[in-house]
Every structure is written in structure tokens, then in C-alpha cells.
Amino acid sequence: MIKFAPDLEKIPESGAGSQCRCSNKTYVTIATMKVLRTVSSLQEAMESCRRAGQTIGLVPTMGALHDGHLSLMKRARADNDVVVASVFVNPTQFNNQTDLLTYPRTEEADCAALETAGVDFAFIPSVEEIYPEPDTRTFDLGPVAQVMEGAMRPGHFNGVAQIVSKLFSMVGPTRAYFGEKDFQQIAVIRRMAQLEDFDFDIVACPIVRESDGLAMSSRNVRLTPEQRAVAPTIHRVLAESLDLARTASVAEVKQWVKERIDATPFMSTEYYEIVNPLTMQPTDCWLTPDGPATGCITVYCGDVRLIDNITYKI
């Protein structure tokens, strides 16, 4: 059973809830996930875990959880004594009010999924709790934040840096987990962590896909059945472009991908860039000094904005 704890009274001794030994000598976990809504209850809980010498894995989310998120919880669960997931639709990272208002909110289902995933603490604050006054900080995120999503969504990455830096400070994790679907976001968070002297592991976890290849995303639920039927084209075209990349230039592959996506009903490419995997800067080489180039795409499928990426290990 989930316990809602506006102010935490008792921290469990073990990270994953209480465990009891059954007569057949197998261990069974009894879930005791706590839902925390205030920064002070979160900080108190984390302080207690640290005092007990426990490692803490943090998984920041905006809710509307799917198996992609749950793979992050699973990884955090395997790596740490204690797992904290935050569920907060962060207004400062939305540069489009309609996108903010239509962002799916499914708190009850999220809590059930987090508890099943073995999360110890779900931090679900209000906007007022996180931003008692406006956050006026501007982060010097540099070139990684100026291209692709940074160019298309002004202010987005600064908003991501604001909320993630707040969560990092509030939780003080041993490790924090992010999904590679938001490939550029990970580079931006690493840059923010460097600027703010957050000296812990930022763990990048692989994209989780539906069986037809569509990258899992909270926005997928907004696709109509007709749009959902064609949405897997994004990954299919990217995967097919790996073959072409063996014989074609970066410029040729970029054009080929865009033409195929744009020829698909409902779809229009916002950008397709092939970039250095660390600096996020466009490259002409399949193998950059920092590793294989990554293709990052954003596609409008109707009015739903979908992103995906692929690594050109060729």
C-alpha cells in the first residue's frame, strides 16, 4: 500500500521496503513506497538515508510513466540502496503553453507503477513547492544547448537545468538516471552538473521501444490511431539509414531520411541532424573524435512532437 506522507515521520531501515522471510525460505518484498510532497520531507528522508550509509538513485520524471521510465527505475533499483523518483511537470521548460496544458497527468497510475517498480520514495511536489518564487537563474550551457532542441525550443534547456539542479540539490543522489531518447538533454544535464559542481554519476539508459519500433514517450498517447499506425516509420527509416551510411555521405543520408519521413502521411520533419555524440555539434564524419556520430530527429506527427535518435556504428 502506498503511504502518502506530507511530512515524513519514519524512514524505513532498508532501502527497498521491508522484507520478510517466508516459510519456504524465499524473500518477499513488501512495498512501502512513500509519497513525499514537500521539499523538507524529501530532504529529511534523504538525510536519514545518507546517515544510514545508503546509496541513493534519483530518477527525475514528468510522470505519465511508461516502460521507458520503468527501465530507469529498474536500473536505479539494481545500482542503489534507495530509489527516489520525482514526478513533476516542470512549467519552466515548456516554451509552448498548449504543450504544458495538454501534457498527460496520471498521478494515480504513476504511483502504482512506481511502487511495483520497487521505488522507495516518490517525490510529487506542487509548482508552488518547487518555485515559491520565480527561478531567475540563467545557466551558461554553451554550444551543447544551442543546436537542435535548443534552437527550436528557446528557454527549454534552461528550464530543464533549473529543475534538475533543484532536484540534485534537494536529493543529493549517488547517481541520477536519464533516458537516451532525450539524447541532447543528457549532454545539457552533464554540462549543468559540471557548472554546479555536482560530482556524482549521471547514468544514460538506452531507449525503450514499442514492439513496432516507436520510441516510448508520454506524448504517444496523444496520437490518433491513424497517426500511431505510421509513427514507427521514424525508427524504421533511421534504422534503414544505417545501411545507406556505409556508402553515402552525412549530407546524403540527412536528405534521404528527411525525404522519407516527409513523404509519410501526417509527418513532417522539424530537424534531422547528425552530430558529435558529446558536443552535439553537426559533423560530416561518421566516426567523430568522441565516437560514432548520432542522428537526432524531431518529427511532427499531426500536432504531436516526437523525438528519436540513432547511433551510426558502421
By the rule CB under 6 A, 15 interacts with ligand PAF: no
By the rule CB under 6 A, 122 interacts with ligand PAF: no
CB closer to ligand PAF out of 90 and 227: 90
Distance CA 228, CA 127 (A): 32
By the rule CB under 6 A, 164 interacts with ligand PAF: yes
By the rule CB under 6 A, 163 interacts with ligand PAF: yes
Q: Which stretch binds ligand PAF (CB under 6 A): 55-63, 122-130, 255-263, 280-288?
A: 55-63
Q: Binders of ligand PAF among 187-226, rule CB under 6 A?
A: none
CB closer to ligand PAF out of 67 and 240: 67
Listing from the earlier edge strand, what are the strands of the sheet with 175-179?
3-5, 34-36, 121-123, 82-87, 56-61, 175-179, 201-205
By the rule CB under 6 A, 84 interacts with ligand PAF: no
CB closer to ligand PAF out of 164 and 297: 164
Q: Which of 66, 69, 156, 235 is catalytic?
A: 69
By the rule CB under 6 A, 113 interacts with ligand PAF: no
Q: Which value, to the nearest 10 degrees, does the dihedral of the CA atoms of residues 181, 184, 190, 192 take? A: -120
Contact call for residues 15 and 4 (beta carbons, < 8 A): no
Cell of 9: 515521520
Nearest approach, Cβ of residue 296 and ligand PAF (Å): 15
CB closer to ligand PAF out of 178 and 312: 178
By the rule CB under 6 A, 182 interacts with ligand PAF: yes
By the rule CB under 6 A, 115 interacts with ligand PAF: no
User: Binder to ligand PAF among 41, 61, 158, 184 (CB under 6 A)?
Assistant: 61
Burial (0-12, 13-18, 19+ Cβ within 10 Å), 106: middle
User: Binder to ligand PAF among 71, 80, 90, 276 (CB under 6 A)?
Assistant: 90
By the rule CB under 6 A, 62 interacts with ligand PAF: yes
CB closer to ligand PAF out of 16 and 160: 160
CB closer to ligand PAF out of 167 and 253: 167
Distance CA 145, CA 147 (A): 6
Is position 66 annotated as part of the catalytic site? no
Contact call for residues 249 and 284 (beta carbons, < 8 A): yes
Q: Binders of ligand PAF among 93-112, rule CB under 6 A?
A: 93
Distance CA 233, CA 118 (A): 34
Q: By the criterion CB under 6 A, which residues form the site for ligand PAF?
A: 60-62, 90, 93, 160, 163-164, 182, 185
Positions marked catalytic: 69
